[in-house]
Structure 1
Amino acid sequence: MQTRGNTILITGGGSGIGRALAEAFHQRGNRVIVAGRRAAALEDVVRANPGIEAFVLDVTDPEDIARAAAKIATEYPGLNALVNNAGIMQPEDWRAAEVDTGIAEATIATNLLAPIRLTAALLPLLHKQEKSAVLNVSSGLAFLPLAITPTYSATKAAIHSFSESLRYQLAGTGVDVIEIAPPYVQTELMGEQQASDPNAMPLAEFIDEVMSILDTQPEVREVLVKRVLPLRFAAEQGRDGYAKQFAGLNDHFAGK
């Protein structure tokens, strides 16, 4: 993927990684459109970054996705990059006497069904471009799950798998498929405390490294910053090494 001269749609673009990616691409001269459910957050992005465009989109609503796809085809016919970034991450307690699957269902709808539906809706437009790209934001937890967020980790593992298969099927079509797998980053994904957690990677550092990879490796398939490598390649340590790293990660977040 070339990082200049594109028309890019970024979901979940009102905050966190989505907003930071939007600003980074905008600074490189791309036409950037951010979409999300919170109109106020989108308006703040637009005010702070003249030239970025925005519209409200509920990615969990198939009808809203269809409406957005029609709008994009009409108003942004040159769209050649889709960043599936919108996501939610909430803890679940599967030890409860009665497990409430509401969080799991909402997580699957937002993190997995939404990017699948939006990609399907926009692929006809992406195929019209000489070169285009689908960028799926997964997570280091796709490869080493965090037990307190089991469905989040599972959806990100699914996004990794979906990206692999989509890339294979679209080979030779002109549509690249790129996966961005963040480590633990200072955003508000799991609440305000995460944005200042010293154990998390500063957001600006993460974005700088991501953009450097995209700038210098136009054929990249997986965007992996250095801090995510231990998670991404946990399985390469063998069964015992993986088990030790899994226990270390989860004991830390469990306060053990």
Structure 2
Amino acid sequence: MVLENNTILITGGSSGIGLELAQRLIERNNKVLICGRTADKLKLAKKKLPQIKYLQCDISKPSDCERLRNWVLEKHPDCNILINNAAIVHIENFFRDDDILDKADAEIQTNLMAPIRLSKLFAPILRNNKNPSIITITTGLVYVPRTIYPFYNATKSALHSFVQVLRSQSSDSLINIIEVQFPAVDTPWHQGNPPDIAITVEEAVEKMIKGLEKGDKEIQVGKVKMLYLLSRLAPKLAFRKLNSL
């Protein structure tokens, strides 16, 4: 994959992996566009990276996904790469939380339905430009669930399955379908309490970019490959090991 002279949209681009990606990709590409829910975070990102363009929106809402599509179509029709990065998580006990179904709906809409919806909405825009690609961020937890997350594992597993189908169905299309599976990464997503095994955001993004440049379709970053292999050889052991961290 050529990571030069592109116009790239990154969802959830105001912090963490999204912001690090924006910082790395702006160096060699025409434009980097980001979106996010929080105006203050977007303004801080703009202050750090003056070259980026941003739109405040909540991609869990279908109307905001359409507004994002319309903004890109009107202002940045040369967009050729969509990076589905935005995600949320809840650390709750399913049986003890009275609001758990609302939290489930929020995660499903943000983590699963938004990437599906945006992939559909943006496909016609991407196809009109060179090097069209949809890059979707998932996790090693698609292979082994972590029990502190009642819904996150499930949404990402469903997204992993969707990307595999999308890649198969786009075999006669120009759009490049890529999945990046991250291990635990030390970002604000962990709310100040990352697991000990978490890698830095710089390392995570560096390995992602190397995989993209090599042309990999499914990029397993860090220890994800080990987790995948262990889940196939000894699934019960993989489950115990992961959830003892």
Which residue pairs with 1:214 in the alignment?
Answer: 212
CA distance in 2, matches of 1:133, 1:190: 28
Among 218, 238, 242, which residue is 1:245 paired with?
238
Which residue pairs with 1:61 in the alignment?
Answer: 61
Q: Name the amino acid aligned to 2:49.
A: N
CA distance in 2, matches of 1:88, 1:30: 29
Return the offset for 1:52. 1.1
Residues 55 and 236 of structure 1: is their aligned pair in 2 closer, same or farther, counting only changes over 3 Å? same
Question: What are the Cα deviations for residues 88-133 of structure 1, in whole angstroms up to 9, with x where unaligned?
Answer: 0111212438673122111101100111111111111112123200
CA distance in 2, matches of 1:59, 1:223: 25
Match status 1:181 vs 2:174:
no
Q: Name the amino acid aligned to 1:214.
A: L
Written as runs of structure 1 = structure 2, the 5 A alignment for 1:55-204 is: 55-96=55-96, 100-194=100-194, 197-204=195-202
Residues 58 and 223 of structure 1: is their aligned pair in 2 closer, same or farther, counting only changes over 3 Å? same
Q: Which runs of 5+ in 2 are unaligned?
A: none
Say which SS state the counterpart of residue 189 (structure 2) adopts.
coil
Return the offset for 1:66. 1.0
Say which SS state the counterpart of residue 78 (structure 2) adopts.
coil
Which residue pairs with 1:45 in the alignment?
Answer: 45
Say which SS state the counterpart of residue 32 (structure 1) adopts.
strand
Say which SS state the counterpart of residue 68 (structure 2) adopts.
helix
CA distance in 1, matches of 2:98, 2:203: 41
Say which SS state the counterpart of residue 83 (structure 1) adopts.
strand
Say which SS state the counterpart of residue 83 (structure 2) adopts.
strand
Match status 1:7 vs 2:24:
no
Return the offset for 1:157. 0.5
Question: What are the Cα deviations for residues 229-256 of structure 1, in whole angstroms up to 9, with x where unaligned?
Answer: 122333321xxx110110121133xxxx
Return the offset for 1:29. 2.9
Alpha-carbon RMSD:
1.5
The count of aligned residue pairs is: 245
CA distance in 2, matches of 1:97, 1:212: 41
Residues 97 and 156 of structure 1: is their aligned pair in 2 closer, same or farther, counting only changes over 3 Å? closer
CA distance in 1, matches of 2:220, 2:29: 24
Return the offset for 1:61. 1.0
Say which SS state the counterpart of residue 55 (structure 2) adopts.
strand
CA distance in 2, matches of 1:69, 1:114: 12
Identity over the aligned pairs, expressed in percent?
A: 33
Question: What are the Cα deviations for residues 167-197 of structure 1, in whole angstroms up to 9, with x where unaligned?
Answer: 1111121101100110001012131222xx5
156-165 or 67-76, larger mean C-alpha shift: 67-76
Among 228, 234, 245, which residue is 1:232 paired with?
228
What is the TM-score with the length of structure 2 in the denominator? 0.95
Q: Name the amino acid aligned to 1:54.
A: Y
